[in-house]
Structure 1
Amino acid sequence: MNKLDGISVFVQVNDSGSYAAAGRVLGMSASAVGKAIVRLEERMGLRLLHRNNRSIGLTAEGAVFLDHCRRIMAELAAAEATLSNAQAQPSGRLRVSAPVASEGWNRVFLQFMATFPEIDLDVSYTNRLVDLVEEGYDVVLRIGPLQDSRLLTRRLGVFSLRLVASPTYLERHGTPRTIEDLLGHACLRNRNVSSRRIDAWPLGPDHAHINAELSNKLVADHYAMLLMAALEGLGIVCMPSFWSDEHIERGTLRHILADLTPNQRAVSAVWPGGRGFPAKLAAFLDFMAQKLPAVLR
């Protein structure tokens, strides 16, 4: 195996989150990707990835090696860009579908425009599951598990769902200390736009019955509304960290039951194969992978 091939496979596995997803991007089978990683580890004499049936994660040595690999690939990409003609410079219209998210995401889009002034950005905000190919998007940002194997993917970052409430609400109604305590509280719930179902809170499989019995004091399909209601002291809401953390830092919301509700959600970029890999798309993916994780945290 060529050394650069091994590096590119390793980086793609980390970006995609699985052997199968990396294989779709690289045009390889999941088995071939796994064998490439094993050969790379054998050559390095180090374990680079933790692997189990559910997930893949970096070892401490793998994290250090990944930083070096990214620099190597960035240098290679820079060299290729220098030798390419002006037609390959990032330019043109880029159609993006993004979830209805916090202002932090919008700032990243504006920073991208400032960095790449020759790209015209066309952003459509929706929480429904769009048909990327039929609706003509160049790239879609999606939250959660990905299902369409026809599409190419790159993981951009992760975030957590947090149960939060205002200090005023907690002073009036008490702070829940257990999962069961939630049954005595006003719950502000999010309705999934695609499924039209009310989203479950991350209470774990042992408390599925609690999820089913939570109150629906307010149900909305937009986190801006739920956030406003929580800030007004109307109840407890479960929302992504990129909506809540700014308010937690200010003290206008409090994070509750943090130790009992661990969870993680992925944000991924998805785009159709078979269209080549235009410079404007490559620029967007690299920029979002660099800037979005800070917003998600």
Structure 2
Amino acid sequence: MDRFDAMRVFIRIVERQSFTKAAEDLGLPRSSVTEAVKALEARLGVRLLTRTTRHVSPTLDGEAYYRRCLSLISDLEDAESAFAGVKPSGLVRIDVHGTQARHFLLPGLPRFLETYPGLRLHLGEAHQALDMVREGFDCILRAGTLADSSLICRRLAELNRGTFASPSYIERFGEPRTPDELERHRIIGLFAPDAAVVGPFVFVDHGKERRFTPPAVVTVTGPETNVACACLGLGLIQVPRYRVAPELASGQLVEVLSEYPPTPLPVHVLYSHTRQLSPRVRVVIEWMAEQFRIRA
């Protein structure tokens, strides 16, 4: 293993806080990962990592070396990618909402991997707040209003939303004509992954944003279950239009309160400010942005 490959191994160990997880990410035997670190420590004459039974952490020298490695590897990849015909390669780990991945990303994935045959993608679906670097992700996709974060974010799209109900619900409870009538209706309460309360319904009424949280007989955390409950007539839902396109086409759901559209749902890609984007991560982010432009 050459020096730069050993640096890549060391970077992944620090970020994953585990020799085993780093080996799995890089597709290497654990013994190779261990030997790479031993060789680095022997060459530098310092201890880079502190090992316990639960996790691995860098020493003060290890933290300083980690920062230098990030810069050197980034410069190396930039230099290699500057030459014609050299395409980015390696593993890129992304955390993304499964429904968004299936609608926006998967249709264009075969062509993308044909263009970059040296790339490998891991698509995780954590659906919750996570420590991106510690969990080993290069970037994450998140929809909705972002909490304060040290991560760098780039907006990829704004998804149009609507308010929907099943014909059976309307037959039983009537169709709301204005947002103020929602107090006499019920919703399917959807919890965001990192929220302790049900997300409100949001409308634009005469240019002003208004929020309502009608009573919920059923609360859910999954988007597919949210739509399925609405199709059963259990309540109103407010979701991006792409998510209910088949149900609208089949008549299982109809739109209500169309004169009071919800505010669009922003989608961002986030990545760590502590490291420069490698060429492989840059091309993946640009590809994801293009897929959302095509299908949003």
Q: How high is the TM-score relative to the length of structure 1?
A: 0.63
Structure 1 residues 259 and 291 mapped into 2: Cα distance closer, same or farther (>3 Å)?
Answer: same
Tell me the secondary structure at the aligned position of residue 280 of structure 2: helix
| RMSD over aligned Cα atoms | 2.6
Which one of the candidate residues 87, 90, 98 is aligned to 2:88? 90
Indicate if the aligned counterparts of 1:100 and 1:126 stay in contact, CA closer than 8 A: no
Structure 1 residues 104 and 81 mapped into 2: Cα distance closer, same or farther (>3 Å)?
Answer: farther
- How far did 1:134 drift? 2.3
- How far did 1:156 drift? 1.0
Indicate if the aligned counterparts of 1:161 and 1:202 stay in contact, CA closer than 8 A: no
Q: Residues 237-248 of structure 1 correspond to what in structure 2 (within 5 A)?
A: 237-248=237-248
Indicate if the aligned counterparts of 2:165 and 2:253 stay in contact, CA closer than 8 A: yes
- How far did 1:260 drift? 1.5
Separation in 2, partners of 1:235, 1:148: 32
Indicate if the aligned counterparts of 2:156 and 2:269 stay in contact, CA closer than 8 A: yes
Cα displacement string for residues 195-225 of structure 1 (whole angstroms, at most 9, x for unaligned residues): 22111110467754xx24x121210000100
Q: How high is the TM-score relative to the length of structure 2?
A: 0.64
Structure 1 residues 114 and 251 mapped into 2: Cα distance closer, same or farther (>3 Å)?
Answer: farther
1:220 aligns with 2:220: yes
1:259 aligns with 2:259: yes
Cα displacement string for residues 150-181 of structure 1 (whole angstroms, at most 9, x for unaligned residues): 32222111113321012232233321111122
State which structure, 1 or 2, has the greater radius of gyration over its C-alpha atoms. Answer: 2
Separation in 1, partners of 2:129, 2:84: 37
Partner of 1:150: 150
Indicate if the aligned counterparts of 1:108 and 1:288 stay in contact, CA closer than 8 A: no
Partner of 1:75: none
Indicate if the aligned counterparts of 1:108 and 1:292 stay in contact, CA closer than 8 A: no
Tell me the secondary structure at the aligned position of residue 259 of structure 2: helix
5+ unaligned residues in a row in structure 1: which ranges?
1-79
Cα displacement string for residues 80-107 of structure 1 (whole angstroms, at most 9, x for unaligned residues): 9985166x51211111011242531352
1:139 aligns with 2:139: yes
Structure 1 residues 95 and 256 mapped into 2: Cα distance closer, same or farther (>3 Å)?
Answer: same
Separation in 2, partners of 1:272, 1:206: 32
Separation in 2, partners of 1:236, 1:202: 13
Residue correspondences, number: 213
5+ unaligned residues in a row in structure 2: which ranges?
1-78
Partner of 1:169: 169
Indicate if the aligned counterparts of 1:178 and 1:257 stay in contact, CA closer than 8 A: yes
Partner of 1:110: 109
Separation in 2, partners of 1:194, 1:116: 34
Indicate if the aligned counterparts of 1:162 and 1:244 stay in contact, CA closer than 8 A: no
Structure 1 residues 206 and 263 mapped into 2: Cα distance closer, same or farther (>3 Å)?
Answer: closer
Cα displacement string for residues 108-164 of structure 1 (whole angstroms, at most 9, x for unaligned residues): 463443443321111111221222122221011111233455322221111133210
Separation in 1, partners of 2:90, 2:114: 14
Identity %: 23
Tell me the secondary structure at the aligned position of residue 104 of structure 1: helix
